[in-house]
Structure 1
Amino acid sequence: MLRYAIIFLVVALIAAVLGFGGIAGTAAGIAKICFVVFLVLAVISFLKK
């Protein structure tokens, strides 16, 4: 999940530089969601051990 969050963040940054605001906003939102899911799964994983 962290890998996908980083990929979407890079896509958002590139889209923002090129002037595609809608795509950049969408990619940034997906990156945030992926990062939150990663954090939740990481915390659950650490608590199980």
Structure 2
Amino acid sequence: MLGWAVMFLIIALVAGIFGFFGIVSAAVGIAKVLFFVFLIMFVISLIFGRRRGF
């Protein structure tokens, strides 16, 4: 999931260089959502992963 977020961020940067600002805003929005979903899933996996170890 983090890979997808980075990919959309790169798409946003390339689109920004070429002046496609509508695509930039969409790609940045998708990248932000994917990054926060990744963070939430990472924290959840850390919490439940430690409980299983005991």
Instruction: Judge same fold: TM > 0.5, yes or no.
Output: yes
Please list the CA deviations of residues 5-29 of structure 1 after superposition, one character each: whole Å capped at 9, or x if unmatched: 0000000000000000000110000
Structure 1 outlier segments of 4+, above 6 Å: none
Over the matched positions of the two proteins, sequence identity in percent amounts to 49
- When the two structures are aligned, how many residues end up with a matched partner? 49
TM-score of the aligned structures, taking structure 1 as reference length: 0.98
**Consecutive unaligned residues in structure 1, runs of 5 or more:** none
**Consecutive unaligned residues in structure 2, runs of 5 or more:** 50-54
- Across the aligned residues of Structure 1 and Structure 2, the Cα RMSD in angstroms comes to 0.4
TM-score of the aligned structures, taking structure 2 as reference length: 0.89
